[in-house]
Every structure is written in structure tokens, then in C-alpha cells.
Amino acid sequence: MDSANKTYQQLKRIDKKIKKYDELLLKVHIMMEMAKDGEVLDSDIKSIEEEVDMLEIDTLLKGKYDSLSCYLEIHPGAGGTESCDWANMLKRMYERFLEKNNYQVRVLDIQNGDEAGIKSVTMEINGYYAYGYLKVENGVHRLVRISPFDANKRRHTSFASVTVTPVFDTQIEIDIKDEDLKIDVYHSSGAGGQSVNTSNSAVRITHLPTKTVVTCQTERSQLRNKEIALELLKNKLYQQKLEEQEKLKKDVKLNVGSIDFGSQIRSYILEPYKLVKDHRSNYEDNDPDKVLDGEIMPIIKSVLKM
């Protein structure tokens, strides 16, 4: 039954693409007729170009796992408060992007920084092609700015890593032995006041053979947090298994390497000039504020088109 439902949903998506193509073709024909009378506006042309561009991107998302939902993790590099604040800025950027593109987001775990920002965050992102789009964010992101935490107003460089993992089919076969797991419970962190959970409901699971660590504190129930963490662990171990079999060399990058100079995939420069540059596609944008407010689809497109 599940297989039939998945096939039906896939056929619906294909049919939607075909209808979109037919609609665009009709619009182009109408516009060509209007152009003969000089009735076509630049805004109309731009609108068509954007629709064609999105349809082209959809055709590029052909990877085996591109259509899946995903987990997105952010970890600051060395640098204390600076890097923690940068990690939090990236979290906000992705949340804005996902909201604008109608994806559902659930924060599974978040560790707040000692003074500001976050030490880590894990988000579950549900929606078609979530992994296909966000897989290009896998890597180290570099920020250059005048530090708001530096009394001398000096320029600082901060790093944070982003890891994106597909949410694989829950029927995957992974043998996880109880003796291979180290399970810790702790107080969930919150915004303070009544929202603080005073019980040990948060769960951290370490898979000892692979040193893989997952955490979850989104639910008030320790049992439910453990179930979600085990699901996340299962996905990570499955991903590692596929990588070992060399099936995901091009689609999934589990380790992003060291989080420091020379390893970044993208730079966000706020001082002494304004620029966002993706070092893979060489895409540039002179409005980093817009990008950090969630307008990252043009950058994603530039990498997918490579």
C-alpha cells in the first residue's frame, strides 16, 4: 500500500510539472502575439523568465534522494561568541528561506551559546525537494564583519558548518545494538520563564562504534525525544552505510572538514565592503542583508546549474 501511494504521489508531481510546462508554453505564445502590437511589458518578460528558471531547476533535481525531506545541522567553528552568533544568523537565514518557500520546519535540538548565539542546532525540514535544494548548503560558511562584541570595533572572521542529511525511508534496515548506544538525559534548554522544562526530557544518544552523536529536546516527553533521536541516528548510520558502498559520493557529503580558513563554500562579507560569494559557482550578490534575510534561492540555483 505504501509503495502504491508513493507511486501515485510521484505521478501527481510529474503531472503537475507537465501542466506547468503547458501553461508556460501558452503564456509564451500569447506574449509573442502581444509583442507584435507592442503590448508586452518588461515585468511580464521577467515573470516568464523566473517561471522558466524554476522549471529548469526542477529538471536538475534528478538525484535519487533529491525529492526527500532533510535534516539540517549548524555548528559554529572556533571563535567562541563570534562563531555562535554567526551560527544563529545562519539558522535565521534558513528559517526565513524555508518559510518563504512553504517548507515545514521543526527544531529537534538547539544548544544556546554561553553569551549569545547557538552552539548547535538540528532542524527537520519537511517538503518535496527539501534535500534537493538544501544539499548545496553542505559545507563551511564564512562571515567577515565588524564584531558587535568587540569594544574596539575590529573586523572579525567567523566560521560555521552546515550539514544536510536526507530523511531516508523509515523502513531502512539498520541493525543498532543496545550495547552500542550511550544514552544521556539532561534538562531541555528554553527561552526562560514558564517555557523552561525542569525535567530531564532532553536526550543525547552516542553510537559508540562510529562516534555518531544525535540529540533531541523538542518534545516534553523523554520517551518521544528518544524515539526521534533514534530515528535521526538511523538516518545518519544509513547514510554512512551508503557512502561506504560509494553510492552517494556525488549526492551526499557527510563530513565538511575543518571549519576554518580555506575550507569555506561561501563567504558573507559585511565589512569593509558588502558581498556574498559562493566559491563553487562564483555567484556574487552585493546585498548580503537580503541574502541573510532568506533570499538564497538564486545562489542555490547557481550551484545546481554547475
pLDDT in tens, 107-140: 999 999 888 899 999 999 999 899 999 999 999 9
Shared domain check, 149 and 199? no
Q: How confident is the model at residue 47 (pLDDT cuts 50, 70, 90)?
A: confident
Assign residue 292 the CATH number of its domain: 3.30.70.1660
CA dist., res. 112 & res. 299, Å (int): 28
Shared domain check, 256 and 163? yes
Domain boundary among 244, 262, 283: 244
Pairwise pLDDT comparison (256 vs 178), residue with the higher score: 178
Q: How confident is the model at residue 186 (pLDDT cuts 50, 70, 90)?
A: confident
Shared domain check, 258 and 133? yes
Shared domain check, 104 and 77? yes
Question: In this model, does residue 257 exceed pLDDT 70?
Answer: no
Torsion of CA 73, 239, 305, 263, to 10 degrees: 50
Give residues with Cβ within 8 angstroms of 242, minimum separation 6.
248, 252
Q: Is 292 helix (H, G, I), strand (E, B) or coil?
A: helix
CA dist., res. 188 & res. 106, Å (int): 16
Give the pLDDT score at 196: 44
Q: How confident is the model at residue 57 (pLDDT cuts 50, 70, 90)?
A: confident
Assign residue 222 the CATH number of its domain: 3.30.160.20
Q: Is residue 55 part of a domain?
A: yes
Q: Which domain holds residue 99?
A: 70-169+250-304
Mean pLDDT to the nearest integer, 25-50: 71
Number of domains within the chain:
3
Give residues with Cβ within 8 angstroms of 213, minimum separation 6.
204, 205, 206, 207
Shared domain check, 154 and 114? yes
Question: In this model, does residue 246 exceed pLDDT 70?
Answer: no
pLDDT in tens, 132-175: 999 999 999 999 999 888 878 888 999 999 999 998 865 567 77
Q: Is residue 254 part of a domain?
A: yes
Sign of the dihedral through C-alpha 127, 256, 146, 190: positive
Shared domain check, 86 and 165? yes
Shared domain check, 229 and 151? no
Mean pLDDT to the nearest integer, 32-45: 68
Q: Is residue 293 part of a domain?
A: yes
Question: In this model, does residue 18 exceed pLDDT 50?
Answer: yes
Q: Is residue 65 part of a domain?
A: no
Shared domain check, 158 and 77? yes
Mean pLDDT to the nearest integer, 2-16: 65
Domain boundary among 221, 244, 267: 244
Shared domain check, 197 and 279? no
Shared domain check, 164 and 75? yes
pLDDT in tens, 207-221: 999 999 999 998 888
Shared domain check, 202 and 125? no
Sign of the dihedral through C-alpha 293, 295, 296, 299: negative
At 67, the amino acid letter reads S
Q: What is the pTM of this model?
A: 0.73
Pairwise pLDDT comparison (94 vs 8), residue with the higher score: 94
Domain boundary among 60, 86, 103: 60
pLDDT in tens, 265-302: 999 999 999 999 999 999 999 999 999 999 999 999 99
Mean pLDDT to the nearest integer, 9-36: 71
What whole-number percentage of the chain has pLDDT above 90? 43
Q: How confident is the model at residue 255 (pLDDT cuts 50, 70, 90)?
A: very low
Shared domain check, 156 and 184? no
Q: Is residue 163 part of a domain?
A: yes
Q: What is the mean pLDDT of the chain?
A: 82
